[in-house]
Amino acid sequence: MRAELREQVTTIIASIPAGRVTTYGRIAKMTEGATARSVGAVLRTLPEGHRLPWFRVVAAGGRLADHEGASEQRRLLAAEGVVFDERGRIPAHCFWPE
DNA sequence: TACGTGACGGATG
DNA sequence: GCATCCGCCACGT
């Protein structure tokens, strides 16, 4: 079940369009069986050679999760055209699915 | 097998 | 709006 769950999570993340983001909570809902924390656990344990756009996964409210690669994540998102407001949050119209 | 940890989220004060 | 607290459950040791 957990292998299947990770597959669902990775599939969902792989289908996020460039320039858009989604949240841990949304992914958890889509998989129906995962929690936001478990989605984070999956992302943390991705194999090295993965091609997943992990940086398109953000915390609730359009904030960046507090983790080691957060600054890089912000840079990668900005490179894709994702905008941040003055408080460092991503506006709702950048979310996926809309 | 059991237990502690944590890339979260929602409720509460 | 910010600071805490607590529930959630997959992971790694």
> Chain A, 36-95: which CBs lie within 7 Å of strand B?
36-41, 43-44, 46, 54-55, 59-60, 65-67, 69, 73
Q: What pLDDT score does A1 carry?
A: 61
Q: In A38-94, which ranges are E strands?
A: 57-58
Count of C-beta atoms within a 10 Å radius of residue A13: 21
* Nucleotide in closest CA–C1' contact with A28: B8
> How does residue A87 score in pLDDT terms, banded at 50, 70 and 90?
confident
Q: What pLDDT score does A49 carry?
A: 82
The CATH architecture of the domain made up of A2-94 is Orthogonal Bundle (1.10)
* Nucleotide in closest CA–C1' contact with A1: C10
Q: What pLDDT score does A86 carry?
A: 87
pLDDT exceeds 90 at position A52? yes
Nucleotides of B under 7 A from a protein CB: 6-10
Mean pLDDT score across all residues of chain A: 92
Longest CA span, chain A: 41
CB contact at 8 A, A61 and A55: no
Distance B8 C1' – A28 CA (angstroms):
10
Mean pLDDT along residues A87-93: 91
